[in-house]
Amino acid sequence: MTGRFSVSNLGARYGRAVVLHDVALPALRDGEMLGILGPNASGKSTLMRRLTGEMPGPGDILLDGRTQREHGREGWRRAVAAAPQTPPAPSALMPTELMWSTARALGLALSDAELAARIEGIFDELGLGAVALSPLATLSGGKRQLVGLALALVRNPTLLLLDEPTSALDLHWRLAVLDLVRRRLRAQGGLVVAALHDLDLAARYCDRLAVLHEGRVLAAGCPAEVLTPDLLARVYRVEAEVSADPEGRPVVRALRAIDPGKGD
């Protein structure tokens, strides 16, 4: 089977500012995870917003042989779920209520008992059981980020989009979340696209990487091809050493910033 998911010629703009140019992403096969790398403001979140369908623009997004448009708004909503970079707002709402209203607003065909079981299962995996009925405002930023992930998982999507899912998490949960995502891919297949800040985590968990720089893809492919000292110098403006771990995946050690005063 060839790719289940591919993206080409993708563009995006805010008003007159074009922030994505002709973006093409490596095709993904079932069970694969794609990492989107790139410095701040390189367009990662915008790419995610194009993939969720919330933002219009040119380009071809293909999932299981059909374009985003052919899936239709409802079809895309059933197949794709995203955890945006901003975690759920700190309101008086309880995580369970938020999960529940999301599932019901989107029309998930589950009985109350099934829905409760699914929510509880996800909360258990994400360590949210103890705060399931506490106001979101009383949760830490990290916990709220986990609720954001839970909101995407409760929909059980084919394509899971994660925008910096680990940025507010401590070391344990950073690994635990990505482990969970991989476990899910192994167990039930599907696809994941994740914008990631941490190069080593990206190299370790992703099958494919694409590096964005000022709205263009500068490199794409498997981690060992993509993460080279050359590219790190160009995109992140750091001098870095790249070695390989025992399983052959690249490990990056940034040594120093290149010309911190000067622009590119």
Partner 1 sequence: MSEREATLLNRFTRIKRRRVHLAFALALGLIAVFLLDLSAGPAALGLGDIVRGLFDPGSLELRDRIILWDVRLPDALIALAVGAALGLAGVETQTILDNPLASPFTLGVSSAAVLGASVAIVLAPSIPAVPDHAILPALALLFALASGGFVLLVVRVSEGSRETVVLFGIALVFLCNALTAGFHMVAEAEAVQQIVFWTIGNLTKAGWAEVAMVFACVAVILPFSLRHVWLLTLLRGGEAHARSMGIDIARLRTMVILRSSVLAAFAVCFVGAIGFIGLVAPHLARLMFGEDHRLLVPGAALCGALVLSAASYLSKALVPGIIIPVGILTAVVGVPVLLLLLWRARRRA
Ligand X SMILES: Nc1ncnc2c1ncn2[C@@H]1O[C@H](COP(=O)(O)OP(=O)(O)O)[C@@H](O)[C@H]1O
Residue 84 or 95 with smaller CB distance to ligand X? 84
- Reading phi first (left if > 0) and then psi (alpha if -120 to 50, else beta), residue 122 is in alpha
Residue 45 or 166 with smaller CB distance to ligand X? 45
Residue 41 or 133 with smaller CB distance to ligand X? 41
**Minimum distance from CB of 44 to ligand X (Å)?**
3
Site string for partner 1, 89-118 (x = CB under 8 A): xxxxxx-xxx-xxx-xxx-----xx--xx-
**Minimum distance from CB of 247 to ligand X (Å)?**
28
Residue 85 or 96 with smaller CB distance to ligand X? 85
**Minimum distance from CB of 262 to partner 1 (Å)?**
34
Distance CA(173)–CA(168), nearest Å, equals 9
Which of 10, 70, 6, 7 shows the shortest CA–CA distance to 216? 10
For every residue of 138-165, DSSP letters joined together read: GS-HHHHHHHHHHHHHTT--SEEEEEST
Residue 36 or 203 with smaller CB distance to ligand X? 36
82 binds, among ligand X, partner 1, Mg ion, none (CB under 5 to 8 A by kind): partner 1
- Binding to ligand X (CB under 6 A) within 42-61 occurs at 42-46
Q: What is the DSSP letter of 54?
A: S
Site string for partner 1, 34-63 (x = CB under 8 A): --------------xx--xxx---------
Written in H, E and C, the secondary structure of 69-132 is: HHHHHHHHHHHEEEECCCCCCCCCCCHHHHHHHHHHHCCCCCCHHHHHHHHHHHHHHCCCHHHC
| 117-124, Cβ contacts within 8 angstroms, sequence gap of 24 or more | 118/154, 118/156, 119/150, 119/154, 122/150, 122/153, 122/154, 123/95, 123/96, 123/150
For position 40 contacting ligand X by CB under 6 A, the verdict is: yes
**Minimum distance from CB of 175 to ligand X (Å)?**
22
Please give the residue ranges that form the binding site for partner 1 (CB under 8 A): 48-49, 52-54, 73, 76-77, 81-94, 96-98, 100-102, 104-106, 112-113, 116-117, 119-121, 123-124, 129, 132-133, 136-137, 148, 151, 161
